């Protein structure tokens, strides 16, 4: 079955955000100030130069659109050219900068994409990095997409948490508990609910892959970087640009052209000209198999066309068909044709458990009376204290529901912190009955539905893949009630 593979997210936005912010921050200070250009050049020279072979990069006239290939990897290849044993690119992302368009386009290639690697045969696309480093990866990407690439940036994982630490911690709407203490995967213990993630915990969260598919992991990373972008203001980037320059340079390798003043100045101007553009992400279309992701030439051609012409695609961020294994249970009555069911009893039990944990004093215990058909609560609610940007502690709780599909969780969040940064993304309000709902969208999908009471704010969060429809989200939000 053909599926829409969502675009991988951590490096898609972190690397794009980091790369463009470095250039835009310098350019915003003063494009004409050559000492700012020199700072960027000096920073990029802190990392090794990528050896990409003669003629592999395309040249373009000043002011014209450019296509960048940005790689995220866990270690550098030898000499930044040959392969590195055990090192594979976690992300391969193409970015299109075009000042004449209304948006900046991103096309990410899944690391499990089945491709023909020049000189090595058929393999996953991320194997090109291990076999021949950035140069072979570049040749493979050009062969697969037919695109001309102007520059290559290779960034390494250890720079991630340093950059987050430099910018400041990020408030994240964590959809469920993330836990692993086995040696097979990286250690992590992050509880569900809206919270502040810093440096290493943020890196653990975005890199988590235990009990997840690459599709869900990509969507989680995408959401994290969206919240980073929303919370980090330009003035902070400018004031911290010298430190960010150093972090970026020490953890980044670039092609030779990006070490010259003229090319850096050209890219700074292009970054500044596209700084206010929204980011449009081209959804990867293909077939998700047990080992590979496959894409037909027709599908790839369509994606490349959307990439060059900056077209967005509607619908959920992806589909996952692998079901969670669990015992049989009695289904509750269906509610209309919305794919919802009455879950009043289960929701009330959640609220009562929360009250036993201390919920219900400063923060009234509300629960949803509806849920998607087949959903179950993923354990008891989490009741906790949330420290706001003002340093104060606020009451908070999270109820988590699992749809029955691997990696798909949605839920109800309540907190007495009524100025949470996540609510700054509201683009529409809708009054229904006594409530005024605040809607946060991601493309054509509802990401979040919030409403306020005199004592608190509550919201329903969609799954990371945004699989709940607007009608389902609104119906669940309207069904929320007190004990």
State the average pLDDT over residues 330-357. Answer: 84
Average pLDDT across the chain, whole number:
81
Residues 120 and 259 in one domain: yes
Q: Are residues 258 and 338 in the same domain?
A: no
**Cα(295)–Cα(290) distance, integer angstroms:** 14
Q: Residue 109 maps to which CATH number?
A: 3.30.420.590
Alpha helices in 232-374 (DSSP H): 234-239, 241-250, 261-274, 297-309, 344-356
Residue 119 lies inside a defined structural domain of this protein = yes
Which range has the worst mean pLDDT, 282-291, 332-341, 353-362, 387-396?
332-341
Residue 251 sits in the same domain as residue 105: yes
322 falls in which pLDDT band (50, 70, 90)? very low
- For the segment 119-138, what is each residue's pLDDT rounded down to a tens digit? 999 999 999 998 999 999 99
Does the structure show a pLDDT above 50 at 170?
yes
User: Per residue in 400-412, pLDDT tens?
Assistant: 999 988 889 999 9
Query: Is the residue at 217 inside a domain?
Result: no
Q: Mean pLDDT check: name the lowest of 5-19, 60-74, 215-229, 299-313.
A: 5-19
Asked whether residue 57 carries a pLDDT value surpassing 80, the answer given is yes
| Residues 348 and 268 placed together within one structural domain of the fold | no
The answer to the question of residue 96 being in a domain is yes
- What residue numbers bound the domain in which 301 lies? 6-159+232-281+297-309
Residue of higher predicted confidence among 167 and 2: 167
Task: Output the pLDDT for position 382.
Answer: 98
Asked if the structure places residue 438 within a domain, the reply is yes
* pLDDT at residue 21, rounded to an integer: 52
> Is residue 219 situated within a structural domain?
no
Asked whether residue 315 is domain-assigned, the answer is: no
In tens, the pLDDT along 220-279 reads 877 886 777 677 665 565 566 677 777 777 778 889 888 887 887 787 777 766 666 667
The answer to whether 242 touches 28, Cβ cutoff 8 Å, is no
Mean pLDDT across 422-449? 92
pLDDT of residue 155: 79
pLDDT at 274: 67
- pLDDT tens digits, 64-109: 899 999 887 765 555 555 555 555 667 788 988 888 887 788 888 8
pLDDT for 230 equals 73
**What Cα–Cα distance (Å) separates residue 49 from each residue in 63, 252, 263, 398?**
24, 9, 15, 47
Q: In the predicted model, is pLDDT for residue 210 greater than 50?
A: yes
- Please indicate, yes or no, if residue 261 is contained in any of the structural domains: yes
Q: What is the pLDDT of residue 7?
A: 39
- Do 29 and 117 belong together in one domain? yes
Question: What six digits make up the tokens of 120?
Answer: 């090595």
Mean pLDDT is highest, among 73-77, 111-115, 393-397, for 393-397
Q: Is 11 found in the same domain as 146?
A: yes
H or E segment to which residue 10 belongs: helix 10-29
Selected residue with higher pLDDT from 103 and 317:
103
Is 140 found in the same domain as 89?
yes
The pLDDT value recorded for residue 219 is 77
Cβ–Cβ under 8 Å, residues 394 and 417: yes
CATH, residue 369: 3.30.200.100
Whole-number percent of the chain with pLDDT over 70: 77
Instruction: Assess whether 355 and 259 both reside in one domain.
Output: no
- Count up the domains in the chain and report the number: 2
CB atoms within 10 A of CB 322: 12
Report the run of H or E that residue 390 belongs to, with start and end: none
Residue 35 lies in a domain: yes
Residue 37 in this model has a pLDDT that exceeds 80: no
pLDDT band at 335 (very low <50, low <70, confident <90, very high): low
Whether residue 253 is found in the same domain as residue 150? yes
How many C-beta neighbours within 10 Å does residue 149 have? 20
My answer on whether 237 and 350 are in the same domain is no
Q: At 88, is the secondary structure helix, strand, or coil? A: coil
pLDDT at 307 over 70: yes
Residues 91 and 20 in one domain: yes
Q: 175, 192 in Cβ contact below 8 A?
A: yes
What pLDDT shows up at residue 10? 40
Which pLDDT band, with edges at 50, 70 and 90, does 429 fall under? very high
* Residue 1, pLDDT above cutoff 50: no
Alpha-carbon gap, residue 440 to 421, rounded angstroms: 12
Q: Are residues 20 and 146 in the same domain?
A: yes
Q: How far apart are CA 209 and CA 188, in angstroms?
A: 11
Q: Quickly count: other Cβ atoms within 10 Å of residue 436's Cβ.
A: 12
**pLDDT in the model for residue 342:** 95
Position 217 scores a pLDDT of 77
């Amino acid at each position: 079955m053909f599926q829409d593979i969502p675009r991988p997210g951590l490096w898609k936005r972190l690397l794009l955000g980091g790369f463009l912010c470095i250039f835009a921050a310098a350019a915003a200070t003063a494009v004409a100030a050559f000492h700012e250009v020199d700072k960027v050049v000096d920073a990029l020279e802190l990392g090794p130069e990528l050896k990409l072979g003669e003629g592999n990069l395309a040249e373009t006239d000043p002011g014209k659109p450019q296509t960048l290939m940005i790689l995220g990897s866990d270690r550098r290849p030898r000499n930044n050219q040959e392969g590195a044993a055990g090192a594979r690119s976690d992300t391969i992302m193409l970015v299109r900068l075009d000042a004449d368009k209304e948006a900046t386009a991103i096309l990410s290639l899944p690391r499990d994409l089945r491709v023909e690697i020049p000189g090595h045969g058929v393999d996953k696309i991320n194997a090109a990095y291990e076999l021949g480093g950035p140069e072979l990866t570049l040749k493979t990407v050009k062969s697969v997409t037919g695109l001309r690439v102007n520059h290559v940036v290779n960034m390494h994982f250890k720079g991630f948490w340093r950059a987050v630490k430099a910018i400041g911690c990020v408030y994240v709407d964590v959809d469920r508990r993330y836990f692993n203490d086995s040696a097979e995967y990286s250690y992590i213990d992050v509880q569900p609910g809206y919270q502040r993630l810093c440096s290493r915990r943020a890196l653990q969260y975005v890199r988590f892959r235990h009990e997840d598919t690459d599709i869900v992991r990509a969507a989680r990373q995408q959401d994290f970087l969206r919240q980073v972008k929303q919370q980090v203001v330009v003035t902070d980037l400018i004031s911290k640009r010298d430190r960010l320059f150093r972090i970026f340079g020490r953890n980044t390798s670039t092609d030779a052209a990006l070490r010259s003043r003229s090319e850096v100045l050209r890219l700074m101007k292009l970054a500044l000209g596209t700084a206010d553009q929204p980011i449009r992400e081209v959804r990867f279309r293909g077939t998700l198999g047990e080992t590979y992701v496959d894409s037909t030439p027709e599908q790839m051609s369509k994606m490349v066309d959307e990439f060059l012409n900056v077209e967005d695609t509607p619908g959920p961020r992806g589909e996952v068909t692998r079901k969670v294994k669990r015992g049989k249970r009695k289904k509750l009555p269906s509610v209309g044709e919305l794919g919802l069911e009455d879950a009043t009893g289960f929701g009330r039990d959640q609220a009562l458990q929360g009250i036993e944990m201390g919920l219900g004093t400063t923060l009234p215990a509300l629960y949803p009376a509806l849920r998607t058909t087949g959903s179950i609560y993923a354990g008891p609610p989490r009741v906790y204290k949330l420290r706001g940007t003002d340093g104060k502690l606020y009451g908070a709780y999270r109820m988590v529901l699992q749809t029955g599909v691997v990696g798909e969780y949605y839920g109800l969040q309540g907190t007495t912190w009524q100025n949470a940064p996540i609510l700054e993304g509201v683009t529409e309000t809708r009054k229904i009955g006594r409530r005024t709902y605040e809607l946060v969208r991601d493309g054509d999908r509802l990401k979040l539905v919030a409403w306020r009471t005199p004592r608190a704010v509550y919201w329903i969060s969609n799954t990371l893949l945004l699989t709940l429809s607007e009608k389902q989200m609104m119906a669940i939000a309207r069904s929320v009630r007190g004990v």
